[in-house]
Amino acid sequence: MAGGDLEKQDLLDIARTPMPFGKYAGRLLIDLPEEYLLWFAKKGFPRGRLGQLMAITLEIKIEGLEGLIKPLKAQ
């Protein structure tokens, strides 16, 4: 991860942003399957903020840190 820094806003966005398109449209980024994110990593993440968040989400999943995100989901 860039400098190893996870920004609080990034974590909140990952916990609360739904995937806007595709097979998992409507599913929160943190709930996307790791295989799906790995596929994007090979093909190229979308441009902009969404791609940035998806890349961070993949790192979080690889590192087994989902427990940090789940409590941040909107109630």
Mean pLDDT per 10-residue interval, the chain, length 75 residues: 69 96 97 97 97 97 92 81
What gap in Å lies between CA 23 and CA 2, rounded to an integer? Answer: 28
What gap in Å lies between CA 70 and CA 4, rounded to an integer? Answer: 20
11: burial class by Cβ within 10 Å (0-12, 13-18, 19+)?
Answer: buried
pLDDT score at 5: 62
pLDDT score at 3: 46
What gap in Å lies between CA 11 and CA 7, rounded to an integer? Answer: 6
pLDDT score at 75: 62
